Structure 1
Amino acid sequence: MLAACHDATTMAAFQICAQIWLATLLLADGLAVASQALLASVFAKKDHYKVAVTTARVLQLAVVLGVGLTAFLAAGMWFGGSVFTSDAAVISTNHKGVLFVAGTQTINTLAFVFDGEWRGMASIRIG
């Protein structure tokens, strides 16, 4: 239904943005899974100092990853749009999506890491 409301150029640009956004979320999820394992390990040992240090370090890494992805994607999608298509109209439309895709990386990374940390600590309480 939504695809019927837009032309092929808009939908092609949307697909490029969506696939890049989803691919970068896998990087954030990788950091979240690692933080989950680290926190579950130190939380199970009841070492509260290491829990606090690990949580802080993983959140720092999440911010660094998010900001790095924002910068990389902003430049990469703006100047490297021709990697995905040679259609000038799609590239031009894709430039509108760069703001969303690049701008949400830090927020997305933090959301995934917070979820991973919560699951890492909750798994010990439940299990």
Structure 2
Amino acid sequence: MLVPGRIGNESTDEPVLWFSRNQHWEQTAGKACHEAGQPVRRLTMRETYAEGEGLVRYGCDIKRLYAGEVLRRKARITHEDWAALYEAGKLQQAYPAAWCGSVDSMPIDNLVVHVMSERFTWERFEA
């Protein structure tokens, strides 16, 4: 199961299982890089791949997800927190309009699974 969770100090009543319509790399998915205990930037896709010993992404039918204002309301995210998430994403060179999500858990056997190859292309994972 993929289970919704909270990110950082996100003040939501409902945790979110985040997805992106960005088919290559969602910039906000990179691990945080810290110096002197403080986050200074997000790792690039290649850096995250190396640090995590690979990358995996899950996909589902977009009709199962909420986006924009509907997602904000479903997750009970305040307008202020939504604006802060949006701005933080833009500062990381993400495209927040591509974000979508669910407040429900999803069994992974109903999802498409891709793994990043050593050639840095997404390949479908077959169990």
TM-score with structure 2 setting the length = 0.26
TM-score with structure 1 setting the length = 0.26
- Relative contact order, higher structure (CA 8 A, sep 6+): 1
Select the structure that is richer in helix. 1
